[in-house]
Amino acid sequence: MSIYQKILVAIDLTEEAPQVLNKAVEVSKALGAQLILAHVVEPVGYAYGGDIPMDLTELQDQLDKAAKDQLSQYGDQYGVSKENQVVTVGRPESEIHRLSKEQDVDLVIVGSHGRKGFQLLLGSTANGVLHGTVCDVLAVRIH
Contacts with 87 (C-beta within 8 Å, 6 or more apart), sequence order: 38, 39, 40, 41, 64, 67, 68, 71
- The full set of domain ranges for the chain reads 6-141
pLDDT for position 124: 75
Looking at residue 115, what is its pLDDT? 56
Q: How many of the other CB atoms lie within 10 Å of CB of 57?
A: 9
* CATH architecture of the domain covering 6-141: 3-Layer(aba) Sandwich (3.40)
pLDDT at residue 134, rounded to an integer: 87
Distance between start and end Cα atoms, the chain: 33
- pLDDT tens digits, 72-125: 999 999 999 999 999 999 999 999 999 999 999 999 999 887 655 544 443 477
Q: Which of 11-15, 20-24, 51-55, 139-143 has the lowest mean pLDDT?
A: 51-55
Helix axes 57-78, 17-31, angle to 10 degrees: 50
Q: What is the pLDDT of residue 52?
A: 57
Residue 126, exposed/middle/buried by CB under 10 A (0-12, 13-18, 19+)?
buried
